[in-house]
Structures are given as C-alpha cells and as structure tokens.
Amino acid sequence: MIAVIQRVSQAAVHIEGRERAAIGSGLMVLLGIEEADGTEDLEWISRKTIQMRIFADTEGVMNRSILDCNGEVLLISQFTLHASTKKGNRPSYIKAAKPDIAIPLYESCIKEMSQQLGKPIETGEFGADMQVSLINDGPVTILLDSKNKV
C-alpha cells in the first residue's frame, strides 16, 4: 500500500462537476492499493498517517500530528501510484489491486483512519474520474510504502 500524504490548507474533490468533498487545514492522502496488500498494510498506513508529526508547534517546528491540531483528512484512492514504468513509455498497472480486493481495503482504510482520528474523514469515490484541487501547505509531501517500513 502506498500513500502520498500532503499537508494542506484546503483540498477538494469534484466528480462530474460537483463537489464530492472538501476540507480545510489537514491532510490530503492519495492511496494506492496493490494485490498483495492486506489488513496489516492498511492499519500501518492509517496509524502512520494520523500520528505523523508534520504540523508546526508554537516554535514553528513540525512536531504536531493531525490529532494535535484537530485537522481534517481527505482520502482518495489512486491506483496509478502502483504504475510500473520500467519498460516503454506507457505505464503498466499490473500491481494495482482489482476492485474486488481494492474496494474492501479502501473502505476499511476509511473506517480505520476515521476511528484513529476520532471523527469522520472525507473521501473521493473509488473508480470515479475525479478532479482534485489542493493548496499544499509548506509544501509538505510525504510518501509512505507499507512494503518498505524500514
């Protein structure tokens, strides 16, 4: 499981010209699920995301988590994070999980992050053509890979 975490001052996702979800200050997370992922991967990604200290404290040091600053989370599924670009110029998505595996894991990740955050999170729509907008605060962008925890 791969997560691209961006600290944002605001973010939104639109589907077919309509706003699906929007947040203020918090984290916008793009989540890529692969065939080999399971419950352990989503629990690790969720915990690391919610506990990651990338918000400034009173000294201006990134020492606070999303929990500490009562921020919001927007979670969007993105299979292209598992693109293989080793051969040719057209990416292959062979490692990306098919919907029968990815949808239940995505839904479980939503529940897990909401539970750890202590409030509902906002989401995109699995498989939809989405337009995502954000103002990256910092900018701060972090890449997590549950297969590379060390």
In the set 39, 80, 115, 141, the catalytic residue is 80
55: annotated active-site residue:
no
Query: Who's near 47: CB < 8 A, 6+ residues apart?
Result: 116
Between 39-51 and 99-117, two packed helices, what is the crossing angle to 10 degrees?
40
In the set 6, 49, 79, 123, the catalytic residue is 79
In the set 6, 49, 55, 78, the catalytic residue is 78
78: annotated active-site residue:
yes
131: annotated active-site residue:
no
Q: List active site positions.
A: 78-80
